[in-house]
Structure 1
Amino acid sequence: MKHLLIVDDEALILEWLSTQLDWSLNGLVLHTATSVRQAVALMECQQIHILLSDIEMPQEDGFALLEWTRAHRPNVIMAFVTCHDEFAYVQRAMRLGAIDYLLKPIQIEQLTTVIASAIQKVDLQQNRDTATHQQIIWQQNHGNIRRAFFSKVLSSITDPATIAADAAKQELVLLPGRKYSLVYLLRLPPDTYPQPPKAAPPLDIRSLGSIEHVMTVYTETNACLFLCEDLSEKELQRFCWRLIDTYRNADSQLGCYRSNLCAIDELLQAYQQVKQLHKDNVALFDCVLVLGDPAWDVAGGTPADFSEWKAMLLATQWTLVEQRMISYLNQQAAQKALNREVTMRFYQNVAALLYSVLDEKGIKAHQFIATITQEDTSVQDFYALYRLKDKLHTLLRATFSYTTLMQKPQSLAERVADYIREHIEEDLTCIAISEHFFFHPDYLTRLLKQETGQSLLDLYSRIRMEVACKLLAQRETPITLVAQSAGYRNISHFSRMFRLVYGITPSEYRKKLLEP
């Protein structure tokens, strides 16, 4: 049903019009209003398809209603009624979008003609809106089908016959000879070393809008994959730089990787190659890296002067060496001489350098170096330059601390015992103690047994009991405080362990100790 609104300040005319025609036969629901305000209020809460309004009304005239309708309800079909057969009236109403006008007194035949014309226009408008809506839905569904199809191609399909069969099954048209290219965009934390990197803000590709011949295959928080179809090399570069210009900011760095133009059955290989291009990159950001472009090949670079660094380390210039290493890496990055494999090899060479330095100082460092670098054995650990800088800082700091520690005149057992006594009230574990000395717990136990015949756990337990016995000799110290001071949070556990060592409870030990 369509809704017709007739507006006239004369109630008798409205009553007469409502009875002259059977509006329902024309598929109409009739509404009436006696003022512009009343008509506006009705249209704000009820969808109106056709408006027939008198022009001459007190307060606000019909032109005001036509203006409001054009601004707020542009799809309403409008006609007007007037007592004046003047061209100026007609011209103004037509400019406001009215399709026709009626002169008072209204002739039923003319009214029927105007309403029939308005109904026809409403039908045309609704058909057009329906077609547009259906086209939008089709485009959305078609886009989703294409996206799912190409996602499947990128994940597993390389056989041209299989690709063609799948496309036909989805009613997708693949033009012969068409070339494709993939663009992989990632937003990464900036290199803020020595400050820890902040999380990169997410990519919001909605701000990019729709681009002809470009489809978003998938989006993640900080990554997008685009499929470009039938674009030239120049157009592809323009699109990539548009991505960089759109999403570049001070809080992140962008990696933009593009495959070469390829056939549809080569897309899977191209996808794997652009992902590998990203994995290899550690320093080239906010620029476009094209697969196979010799401009981005890692050059030889300048060899690091490890002999000079070794001399400086032997002279205990640890901070200066770290500064030189960071400066060297920045220089290599500027020369495009770094990738993930190169950075990992550099890190391994630094570890070997430190082993050599400690060896010349007479410090056994094989286990120490192996422990401190045991988590840095995969190329995946070196995904960005700031990551390498952070690992170098940790390695150099740990080696310096270890060197200082091992050059003290105390034995290893004495140093471990002193550390336990200093931190006895903390939640110490054998792992935490071992990590402080840069040893694996098993290796530290082996060293202690060689020196004292005791394991790390034995040494830890003995020192706790020594502390407890010393405090139990002080009558005013509560048993609960004795337990806490010996590193026990649970007094029952403390009493049980004490009895296991001494054969009596802490209270019995105190009583026996303090008996006159």
Structure 2
Amino acid sequence: MDGVLIVDDEIHAAHGIETGIDWARLGVTQVYVAYNIRQAKEIYTSQAVSLMICDIEMPQGNGIDLLTWVKEHYPATVSLFLTCHADFEYAKKALQLGSLDYLLKPVRYTELEAVLQKAIQKIESDSEAVKFTETLKHYYQLWSAHHPLLVERFWLDLIHQTVSSHPEQISELIYKRNIPYLPDDQFVPILIAVRGWSKGLSEREKKIMEYALRNAAEHSFHLDGLEGGCVVPISERNLVALLPRDHALLVSTAYLEAELMSYVRSCDEYFYCELSCYIGEATDIVDIHKAVQSLIEKDRNNVTNARKVYRLDEIFELQDHIQQPNISSWLELLKQGSKTSLQEDIHHYLEDMKQTEGSAKMLQEFYHNFLQMVYHVLQLKGLQAHLIFSERLSTQQMASVTRTVSNLQEWSKEVVELAVDFIQSIEESHTVINQVKAYISENMDKDISRDDIAANVFLSPDYLSRIFKKETGTSLFDYLIEERFKLAQSLLIQSDKSVSEIATSIGYTNFSHFSKMFKRVTDMNPLEFRKKHRK
């Protein structure tokens, strides 16, 4: 324990207590002595004091005054009085201030030690209680900090059905996690769906904006406390706000829709985010999964409109069957390279789909039929689709493209633009042949293959070989061999490089194979060729 302070204006009495008590046996390591209140206060400000033994009548103020000051500034200190004054009023006041005991001088050391032992036990007991309270407070703070996460996890488990929806098991889950709801409470789910971004954002910026959307929703819907509901992120672009049935926003449908519309407009203005909100119906906790899924399905089939608020009872007039696009006509336009006409036809068709409230299923069908047409034409032209559209045909891109009609319009226009440009480029064969020849010349020192050359001009190897033969009268392989050994012959005549260095410079790492090929082309080995032509 901390030190003991003896306060007595009688010097002999103070030192008698200091030296007469076996402090070590009591577990006390520091004993301080003061002869008046001023000295006592100075010791308090510089030393840790757990126990004070104090006289009452002293100069500069009495012990009652000192004890009053100690209780105000050092309330954990245990005090007891040792005095010559058997005054009832003094004793009463001392006990009222929390003095542990009131002893009269002279006192036997054994009696004083017994009281001191009791005081030390109280100090240790109070210390343990304080430690326990502090520990309890610490863990409560940790629990309070993580409790919102437990509530969020509770809703996610229900929505994603990772726990049973049986009422008894939900009641048990609420009890175990100390969720601030009753099993029969009802909530109104509101789906907040991100339809797109009106400004180009990086993935990191989108994550920041999604976090901002959640905070803004909690503030706008007055969901700052768990008992008043919460906002839960259920997927990358979907949030669900869960409002208790008696929430202030639910006073009327018109009021709720107006508040949600204000939120949608604010997010569009400040977060560059196009939102749609879908209002569900009051639902028991056990059925929350079904309620949320119905809202998600509603959003999935909303492929035309954003920046709006919908009620669950507003049914989209979805058209699963509208007039199919004239793919045959589009196919011919693409073959002919009629870019503008094809883009206009596709745009008008998708505009009609907007007016008829097309479904997500229709967008996906259009997507696949459109790609089938493009692939067919590319195959006829000898182009490799994956080399042209590698960034536009990913699974993630497909999900984004078929999300809305507007996305599909923009994407299909880009694909047509890219496809027609490549088709027109390969139809100018001499340009492709020149590119091939330049590529071979620049990479003479590498072991390039027909596939490498074809990939450089975005053509299939077979198709490139056909047009190269048609334009030059020689095969691509023979041309590559011919160009390599033209260079080798020139280096043998005009330079002092060794034969192995020359072989490496035209892409041959095997010297023996180079010599055989050189003799096949020139009817002599490299050294013979150099000797003859240098003479």
Normalising by structure 2, report the TM-score: 0.53
- How far has the Cα of 1:492 moved from its partner? 1.9
**In 1, Cα distance between equivalents of 2:426 and 2:140:** 77
Instruction: Check conservation: 2:493, 2:530, Cα contact below 8 A.
Output: no
Instruction: Check conservation: 2:80, 2:100, Cα contact below 8 A.
Output: yes
- How far has the Cα of 1:191 moved from its partner? 5.0
Query: Who is 1:178 aligned against?
Result: 185
Alignment of 1:332-481 (within 5 A): 365=381, 372=388, 380-384=396-400, 395-396=415-416, 398-408=418-428, 410=430, 414-415=433-434, 417-421=436-440, 423-424=442-443, 430=450, 433-441=453-461, 444=464, 458=477, 461-462=480-481, 465-466=484-485, 468-469=487-488, 471-472=490-491, 474-476=493-495, 478=497
Could you give the per-residue CA deviations for residues 199-238 of structure 1, whole angstroms, max 9, x where no partner exists? 5345669987763354687899x67866847455765879
Query: Who is 1:16 aligned against?
Result: 17
Instruction: Check conservation: 2:184, 2:285, Cα contact below 8 A.
Output: no
Does 2:124 correspond to 1:151?
A: no
Query: Who is 1:87 aligned against?
Result: none
- How far has the Cα of 1:511 moved from its partner? 2.1
**In 1, Cα distance between equivalents of 2:461 and 2:97:** 91
Counterpart residue type for residue 178 of structure 1: D
- How far has the Cα of 1:141 moved from its partner? 8.6
Determine helix, strand or coil for the equivalent of 1:492: coil
Instruction: Check conservation: 1:217, 1:227, Cα contact below 8 A.
Output: yes
Query: Who is 1:211 aligned against?
Result: 226
Counterpart residue type for residue 151 of structure 1: D
**In 1, Cα distance between equivalents of 2:504 and 2:195:** 46
Does 2:160 correspond to 1:164?
A: no
Which one has the largest radius of gyration? 2
Do the aligned partners of residues 232 and 388 (structure 1) sit closer, same or farther apart at CA in structure 2, a change above 3 Å counting?
farther
Could you give the per-residue CA deviations for residues 425-481 of structure 1, whole angstroms, max 9, x where no partner exists? 59766555434444344554566678889876x367436625643643552274687
Query: Who is 1:262 aligned against?
Result: 283
Instruction: Check conservation: 1:52, 1:80, Cα contact below 8 A.
Output: yes
Instruction: Check conservation: 2:78, 2:99, Cα contact below 8 A.
Output: no
Could you give the per-residue CA deviations for residues 83-105 of structure 1, whole angstroms, max 9, x where no partner exists? 9xxxxxxxxxxxxxx96579999
Do the aligned partners of residues 217 and 512 (structure 1) sit closer, same or farther apart at CA in structure 2, a change above 3 Å counting?
farther
Q: Paired residues, what number?
A: 471
Counterpart residue type for residue 428 of structure 2: K
Query: Who is 1:498 aligned against?
Result: 514
**In 2, Cα distance between equivalents of 1:452 and 1:401:** 24
**In 1, Cα distance between equivalents of 2:449 and 2:150:** 55
Instruction: Check conservation: 1:241, 1:288, Cα contact below 8 A.
Output: yes
Do the aligned partners of residues 169 and 15 (structure 1) sit closer, same or farther apart at CA in structure 2, a change above 3 Å counting?
farther
Query: Who is 1:91 aligned against?
Result: none
Counterpart residue type for residue 226 of structure 2: I
Alignment of 1:210-359 (within 5 A): 211-212=226-227, 214=229, 228=242, 230-231=244-245, 235=249, 261-270=282-291
**In 1, Cα distance between equivalents of 2:268 and 2:127:** 45
Instruction: Check conservation: 1:257, 1:290, Cα contact below 8 A.
Output: yes
**In 1, Cα distance between equivalents of 2:337 and 2:303:** 32
Instruction: Check conservation: 2:277, 2:310, Cα contact below 8 A.
Output: yes
Counterpart residue type for residue 514 of structure 1: H
**In 1, Cα distance between equivalents of 2:413 and 2:513:** 42
Do the aligned partners of residues 267 and 20 (structure 1) sit closer, same or farther apart at CA in structure 2, a change above 3 Å counting?
same
Determine helix, strand or coil for the equivalent of 1:417: helix
Do the aligned partners of residues 126 and 177 (structure 1) sit closer, same or farther apart at CA in structure 2, a change above 3 Å counting?
same
Please provide the CA RMSD for this pair: 7.2
Could you give the per-residue CA deviations for residues 272-331 of structure 1, whole angstroms, max 9, x where no partner exists? 55666777788988887776765999999xxx9x999x99x999887x9999999x99x9
Do the aligned partners of residues 145 and 498 (structure 1) sit closer, same or farther apart at CA in structure 2, a change above 3 Å counting?
same
Counterpart residue type for residue 179 of structure 1: Q
Instruction: Check conservation: 1:284, 1:336, Cα contact below 8 A.
Output: no
- How far has the Cα of 1:166 moved from its partner? 6.8
- How far has the Cα of 1:116 moved from its partner? 9.4
Do the aligned partners of residues 511 and 338 (structure 1) sit closer, same or farther apart at CA in structure 2, a change above 3 Å counting?
farther
- How far has the Cα of 1:137 moved from its partner? 7.5
Do the aligned partners of residues 135 and 324 (structure 1) sit closer, same or farther apart at CA in structure 2, a change above 3 Å counting?
same
Do the aligned partners of residues 285 and 99 (structure 1) sit closer, same or farther apart at CA in structure 2, a change above 3 Å counting?
farther
Counterpart residue type for residue 475 of structure 1: Q
- How far has the Cα of 1:268 moved from its partner? 4.0
**In 1, Cα distance between equivalents of 2:468 and 2:361:** 38
**In 2, Cα distance between equivalents of 1:377 and 1:463:** 40
Instruction: Check conservation: 2:444, 2:484, Cα contact below 8 A.
Output: no
